[in-house]
């Protein structure tokens, strides 16, 4: 492609609306344009990258024996009522009515539609297993669309659904999909990790997520170096502290902590370690515990609450709902920064680590006051205990190995759904004994458009994007410096453009009437792996300059050898 023919607008300034590197760089490089919150147009260069990702995904799914189909994006409400999700999916689901007042939604996922296909098409165990997939636009009315394509409202997903006669067959396809996902992320040149995960609202038993590793990732992943353990922190169990709780030494005393609202402020004022403090969080109780009931969750000061674990404790509302400051003040008689479990008459559940503390500091249920030297069993009843916190680096895995934490961007998620949809929607086949049996189901998602953003999060520098070669919109950026003035530069660049394309490379030729500085800056911003610079000075000696975008290495190369030089630079 010749840049002079493509209306490409790039800019130097960091767009104010973009918080993360991928969003900033995709806007600056002209890969995407925003239409409205969470809605983006893929501009020509961006679309080339998206199509490359799509191609790798499609090839690997086909290789795994999955069958591509294309389902409608708009789905009738009746199917969702059958599965029971019309009422539980909530505001994430974009609902609409047609001219006959019939209700529909724009699909956020396609379990219902594919189950409807399966119950019509599949009649016998002899037709199983089967794995269908599509690469299609989804809509989720995310509460906080942000980070550009990372959490968009409209996005491209590869979703696959498999049907089985028994668990063994489901397990086989699930394992095959896990391997297929590894092949896909390997082929795309991404550094990634797979972890055990929560199944969320899609439901089912076993699930595994695939994350592109990047510091900006929204998810925290707990893993051990010897790979005996890898789990999303949402799910990772925190081991209870070993040994007996230390005996009490101090006596309980009330101390003033004026204006201290956070654990850090309390610790500073009292000169104590956060591990010597506990914090109390009030959450709504499940409705069967009576209207308006609250539960106090107590964690050690240095730990953070895990909302999924907490919501799983019997009697706590699911999803977890934190009490408002007003409710807290009304129930505890103090602002959130000064509340504690001593003398309260609501249910107290302590995290294992908090229950293991002795002589600790907690809020006194009086504004600006804390208690020191507090001990369970002496100053307040022994608490109920549960695992309520996020694991941290240095915690032990169930196998007794130290846990490390990495940040990740979820780009894929595979689930064993079991008979959740086939039972509610009556998708059954005849088994080998002629008996009607509900099929078992698996589902497998990849965030195709999110992969593009995640790749940039993982691969960029202050100058711009550094595409992994398999995802780059072009292999080579050919810069014709002052080509509008120099006939020699123009004809040499034209010749190279032809020969490099004939050698199988996708070449973006910068033949614009632009200053060299602009060409270099744009080439770096666009992140094309190999740059070939044609200029008068080099041509006088029969050479062009080669620049590697990732390593920054440069070399003077004879014009005739540039193809071979690039081939030698390419990742194997
Ligand atoms: P998340 O936890 O990030 O909201 P999810 O678990 O709801 O995602 P799945 O239902 O597992 O998502 O969807 C499959 C894949 O689709 C995800 O792994 C992710 O890569 C992608 N995806 C989900 N939501 C979005 C979104 N709002 N924007 C872009 N990609 C998304
Ligand atoms: Mg998911």
Best of 413, 442, 443, 455 for a ligand 1 pocket test (most atoms within 8 Å of beta carbon): 413
Q: Strand 476-480 vs strand 530-534: parallel, antiparallel, or unpaired?
A: parallel
How much distance in Å is there from the Cα of 527 to the middle of ligand 2? Answer: 29
Q: Could you tell me if the CB of 135 is within 6 A of ligand 1?
A: no
Q: How confident is the model at residue 229 (pLDDT cuts 50, 70, 90)?
A: very high
Alpha carbon 258 to its chain centroid, in Å, reads: 40
Residue 35 in this model has a pLDDT that exceeds 80: yes
CA distances from 381 to 385, 503, 508 (A): 12, 78, 72
Q: What are 103's two structure tokens?
A: 């209700």
What ligand 1 atom has the least distance to the C-alpha of 108? 10
> What residues flank ion ligand 2 with Cβ within 5 A?
413
Which residues, 6 or more positions from 411, have their beta carbon under 8 angstroms from its beta carbon? 185, 190, 192, 210, 211, 212, 446, 447, 450, 451, 454
CB 387 within 8 A of CB 173: no
How much distance in Å is there from the Cα of 414 to the middle of ligand 2? Answer: 8
Q: How confident is the model at residue 345 (pLDDT cuts 50, 70, 90)?
A: confident
Helix (H) or strand (E) holding 406: strand 404-418
Ranges 239-243, 510-514, 552-556: which has the least confidence: 239-243
Residue 205 in this model has a pLDDT that exceeds 80: no
CB 207 within 8 A of CB 198: yes
Q: What are 220's two structure tokens?
A: 């925290």
pLDDT of amino acid 504 = 95
pLDDT tens-digit profile of 109-146? 999 999 999 999 999 999 999 999 999 999 999 998 98
Q: How confident is the model at residue 289 (pLDDT cuts 50, 70, 90)?
A: low
Q: Could you tell me if the CB of 155 is within 6 A of ligand 1?
A: yes
- Terminal alpha carbon distance of the chain: 25
Q: Whose CA is nearest to atom 13 of ligand 1?
A: 445
How much distance in Å is there from the Cα of 439 to the middle of ligand 1? Answer: 25
- CA 484-488-494 angle, 5° bins: 75
pLDDT tens-digit profile of 230-267? 999 999 999 999 899 999 999 999 999 998 889 999 99
Residue 571 in this model has a pLDDT that exceeds 70: no
Residue 91 in this model has a pLDDT that exceeds 80: yes
Q: Could you tell me if the CB of 413 is within 6 A of ligand 1?
A: yes
Residue 200 in this model has a pLDDT that exceeds 70: no
pLDDT of amino acid 197 = 87
> Burial of 178 by CB count in 10 Å (0-12 exposed, 13-18 middle, 19+ buried)?
middle
pLDDT of amino acid 227 = 85
Residue 557 to residue 282: CA distance in whole angstroms: 68
CA distances from 79 to 68, 97, 110, 377, 558 (A): 22, 15, 10, 54, 65
Q: Could you tell me if the CB of 152 is within 6 A of ligand 1?
A: yes
Residue 435 to residue 153: CA distance in whole angstroms: 43
pLDDT of amino acid 201 = 54
Q: Could you tell me if the CB of 448 is within 6 A of ligand 1?
A: no
Best of 445, 454, 455 for a ligand 1 pocket test (most atoms within 8 Å of beta carbon): 445
Q: With pLDDT > 70 as the criterion, what percentage of the chain qualifies?
A: 98
CA distances from 120 to 64, 68, 76, 116, 426 (A): 24, 18, 17, 6, 10
Residue 109 to residue 344: CA distance in whole angstroms: 45
Backbone angles phi, psi at 501, to 5 degrees: -65, -40
Q: Is the dihedral of CA 466, 467, 469, 475 positive or negative?
A: negative
Mean pLDDT, the chain, whole residue set: 95
Helix (H) or strand (E) holding 411: strand 404-418
Q: What are 240's two structure tokens?
A: 């209870």
Residue 111 to residue 162: CA distance in whole angstroms: 10
Residue 187 to residue 455: CA distance in whole angstroms: 13
Largest CA distance in the chain: 91
Strand partners, 544: 557
Strand partners, 299: 279
Strand partners, 188: none
Backbone angles phi, psi at 559, to 5 degrees: -50, -40
Q: What integer is the mean pLDDT of 500-514? A: 96
pLDDT of amino acid 548 = 97
DSSP assignment letter at 153: S
Q: Coil, strand, or helix at residue 200?
A: helix
Q: Whose CA is nearest to atom 28 of ligand 1?
A: 151
Q: Coil, strand, or helix at residue 74?
A: strand
Residue 78 in this model has a pLDDT that exceeds 60: yes
Q: Is the dihedral of CA 146, 150, 151, 154 positive or negative?
A: positive
Helix (H) or strand (E) holding 379: none
Residue 164 to residue 130: CA distance in whole angstroms: 7
pLDDT of amino acid 204 = 53
Q: Could you tell me if the CB of 217 is within 6 A of ligand 1?
A: no
pLDDT of amino acid 217 = 94
Q: How confident is the model at residue 461 (pLDDT cuts 50, 70, 90)?
A: very high
Q: Could you tell me if the CB of 389 is within 6 A of ligand 1?
A: no
Q: Whose CA is nearest to atom 21 of ligand 1?
A: 447
């Amino acid at each position: 492609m010749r840049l002079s023919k493509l209306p490409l607008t790039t800019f130097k300034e960091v767009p104010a609306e973009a918080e993360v590197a991928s969003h900033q760089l995709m806007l600056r490089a002209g890969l995407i344009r925003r239409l409205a919150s969470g809605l983006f147009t893929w501009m020509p260069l961006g679309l080339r990258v998206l199509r490359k990702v799509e191609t790798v995904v499609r090839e690997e799914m086909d290789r795994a024996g999955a069958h591509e189909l294309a389902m409608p994006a708009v789905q009738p409400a009746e199917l969702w009522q059958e599965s029971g999700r019309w009422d539980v999916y909530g505001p994430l689901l974009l609902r609409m009515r047609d001219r006959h007042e019939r209700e529909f939604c724009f699909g956020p996922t396609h379990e219902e539609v594919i189950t409807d296909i399966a119950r019509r098409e599949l009649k016998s165990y002899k037709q199983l297993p089967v794995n269908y997939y599509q690469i299609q636009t989804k809509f989720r009315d995310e509460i906080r669309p942000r980070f550009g394509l990372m959490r968009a409202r409209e996005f491209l997903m590869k979703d696959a659904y498999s049907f089985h006669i028994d668990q063994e067959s489901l397990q086989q396809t699930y394992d095959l999909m896990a391997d297929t996902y590894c092949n896909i992320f390997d082929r795309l040149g991404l550094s990634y990790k797979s972890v055990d995960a929560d199944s969320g609202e899609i439901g089912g038993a076993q699930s595994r997520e695939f994350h592109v590793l990047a510091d900006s990732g929204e998810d925290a992943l707990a893993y051990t170096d010897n790979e005996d353990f890898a789990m999303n922190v949402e799910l990772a169990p925190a081991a209870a502290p070993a040994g007996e709780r230390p005996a009490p030494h101090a006596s309980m005393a009330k101390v003033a902590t004026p204006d201290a609202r956070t654990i850090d402020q309390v610790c500073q004022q009292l000169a104590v370690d956060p591990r010597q403090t506990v914090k109390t969080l009030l959450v709504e109780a499940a409705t069967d515990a009576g209207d308006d009931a609250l539960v106090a969750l107590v964690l050690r000061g240095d730990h953070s609450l895990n909302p999924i674990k907490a919501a799983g404790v019997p009697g706590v509302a699911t999803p977890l709902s934190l009490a408002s400051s007003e409710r807290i003040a009304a129930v505890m008689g103090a602002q959130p920064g000064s509340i504690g479990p001593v003398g309260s008459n609501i249910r107290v559940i302590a995290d294992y680590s908090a229950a293991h503390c002795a002589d600790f500091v907690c809020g006194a249920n009086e504004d600006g006051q804390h208690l020191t030297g507090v001990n369970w069993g002496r100053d307040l009843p022994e608490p109920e205990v549960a695992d309520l916190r996020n694991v941290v680096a240095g915690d032990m895995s169930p196998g007794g190995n130290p846990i490390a934490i990495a940040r990740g961007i979820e780009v894929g998620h595979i689930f064993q759904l079991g008979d959740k949809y086939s039972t509610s929607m009556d998708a059954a086949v005849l088994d080998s004994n002629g008996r009607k049996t509900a099929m078992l189901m698996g589902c497998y998602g990849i965030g195709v458009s999110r992969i593009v953003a995640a790749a940039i999060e993982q691969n960029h520098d202050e100058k711009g994007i550094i595409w992994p070669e398999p995802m780059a919109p072009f292999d080579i950026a050919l810069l014709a410096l002052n080509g509008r003035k120099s006939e020699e530069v123009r004809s040499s660049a034209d010749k190279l453009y032809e020969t490099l394309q004939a050698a199988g490379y996708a070449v973006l030729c910068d033949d614009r009437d632009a200053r060299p500085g602009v060409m270099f800056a744009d080439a770096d911003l666009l992140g094309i792996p190999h740059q070939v610079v044609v200029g008068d000075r080099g041509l006088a000696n029969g050479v062009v300059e080669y620049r590697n975008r990732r390593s920054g290495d440069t070399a003077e190369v004879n014009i005739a050898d540039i193809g071979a030089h690039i081939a030698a630079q390419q990742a194997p």
